[in-house]
Amino acid sequence: MTIHIDHHPDQNHAGDEIVEKNQGNVKEQETEHVLDGGFVAPHTNSFGHTFRDYDAESGRRRSVEDFYRTNHIGQTVDFVKRMREAYGKLNRTEMSIWECCELLNEFIDESDPDLDEPQIEHLLQTAEAIRKDYPDEDWLHLTGLIHDLGKVLLHPSFGELPQWAVVGDTYPVGCAFDESIVHHKYFKENPDYDNPSYNTKYGIYTEGCGLDNVFMSWGHDDYMYLVAKENETTLPSASLFIIRYHSFYALHKSEAYKHLMNNEDRENMKWLKVFNKYDLYSKSKFRINVEEVKPYYLSLINKYFPGKLKW
Give Rg (Cα) of the chain: 19
Only segment of 30-38, 84-92, 191-199, 245-253 that touches ligand INS (CB under 6 A): 245-253
144 binds ligand INS (CB under 6 A): no
State the binding site for substrate. 52, 109-111, 151, 168-169, 246-247
The smaller minimum CB distance to Fe ion, of residues 224 and 301, is found at 224
Select the binding partner of residue 112 from ligand INS, Fe ion, none (C-beta < 5 to 8 A, by kind).
ligand INS
# binding residues, Fe ion (CB under 5 A): 3
112 binds ligand INS (CB under 6 A): yes
137 binds ligand INS (CB under 6 A): no
148 binds ligand INS (CB under 6 A): yes
Which position among 121, 133, 169, 222 is part of the footprint of ligand INS (CB under 6 A)?
169
Cβ-Cβ contacts under 8 Å for 203 (sequence gap 6 or more): 172, 174, 175, 176, 197
State the binding site. 52, 109-111, 122, 147-148, 151, 168-169, 220, 246-247, 279
110 binds Fe ion (CB under 5 A): no
246 binds ligand INS (CB under 6 A): yes
109 binds Fe ion (CB under 5 A): no
279 binds Fe ion (CB under 5 A): yes
The smaller minimum CB distance to ligand INS, of residues 36 and 116, is found at 116
60 binds ligand INS (CB under 6 A): no
Only segment of 47-55, 145-153, 204-212, 265-273 that touches Fe ion (CB under 5 A): 145-153
Only segment of 39-47, 172-180, 201-209, 278-286 that touches Fe ion (CB under 5 A): 278-286
The smaller minimum CB distance to ligand INS, of residues 31 and 163, is found at 163
- The candidate with the shortest Cα–Cα distance to 149, out of 247, 225, 52, 217, is 225
Q: Which residue is nearest to ligand INS (CB)?
A: 247
Binding site for ligand INS (CB under 6 A): 109, 111-112, 148, 167-169, 246-247, 249
